[in-house]
């Protein structure tokens, strides 16, 4: 299964983490709203906001947008670098999900959120991406052909305790192939991301290689 808009509106993810028994710092609504306020401080009020997506926000955005484009961010790359102790894994067997880590480049989808919906939609996004502080919201330049837009992207927080750092390809494959949580398996997350990228014409060689290796391990298991 995947998160739904109703899940975020009812704070289900927040409750899932709070009830997990893990000693995680869960950000309150006021803390999330303050983070949004700080992020928008340099943004012109009452104007549209662009959001850059590189993982599940591509195949399961669940927020309102009026336009989407394929674009590239330079200086950051997509990588399975965040441990998932709930959702796509368990405390005993953590899964892995994607983060935007420093170095390289990343092709993804950039969405335009209309000015009238910025307040409500960003709050849903923050409840989804920022609830335990594993990401840092940052403005990045997204290049779309000859056009450029500044967009918010959720960058991995390298100081977060669940940041996986640089792990081997074999460890990554084994973790993704075997981990499963309340929202489904890490393997399903990988498969959906690969398919989501394909629908917008993006073939991520590293994710395709991972997907192939994970499929082989699961079939042999």
Active site residues: 129
Determine the Cα–Cα distance for residues 214 and 221; give it in Å rounded to an integer: 10
- CA 168 to chain centroid, in Å, comes to 21
Angstrom distances, CA of residue 147 to CA of 71, 103, 141, 151, 160: 9, 22, 10, 13, 34
Which of 75, 94, 72, 92 lies closest to 83, judged by CA?
94
Using N-to-C axis directions, what is the helix angle for 186-199 and 169-178, rounded to 10°? 100
Which of 154, 193, 192, 165 lies closest to 83, judged by CA?
165
List CB contacts of 17: < 8 A, sequence separation 6 or more: 24, 26, 86, 131, 132
- CA 73 to chain centroid, in Å, comes to 15
Beta strands in 56-134 (DSSP E): 67-84, 95-113
Q: Are 169 and 156 in contact (CB under 8 A)?
A: no
């Amino acid at each position: 299964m995947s998160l739904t808009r109703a899940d975020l509106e009812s704070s289900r993810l927040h409750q899932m983490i709070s009830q997990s028994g893990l000693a995680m710092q869960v950000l309150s609504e006021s803390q999330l709203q303050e983070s949004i306020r700080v992020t928008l401080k340099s943004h012109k009020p009452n104007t549209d906001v662009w959001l850059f997506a590189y993982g599940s926000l591509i195949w399961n955005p669940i927020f309102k947008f009026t336009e989407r484009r394929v674009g590239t961010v330079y200086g950051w790359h997509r990588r399975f670098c965040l441990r998932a102790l709930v959702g796509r894994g368990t405390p005993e067997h953590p899964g892995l999900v994607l983060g935007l880590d420093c170095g390289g480049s990343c092709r993804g989808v950039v969405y335009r959120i209309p000015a009238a919906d910025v307040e409500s939609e960003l709050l849903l996004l923050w409840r989804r991406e920022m609830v335990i502080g594993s990401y840092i919201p940052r403005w990045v330049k997204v290049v779309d052909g000859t056009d450029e837009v500044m967009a918010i992207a959720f960058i991995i927080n390298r100081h977060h305790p669940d940041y996986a750092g640089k792990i081997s390809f074999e460890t990554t494959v084994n973790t993704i192939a075997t981990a499963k949580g309340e929202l489904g398996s890490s393997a399903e997350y990988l498969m959906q991301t690969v398919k989501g990228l394909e629908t917008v014409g993006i073939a991520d060689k590293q994710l395709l290689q991972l997907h192939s290796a994970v499929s082989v391990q699961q079939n042999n298991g």
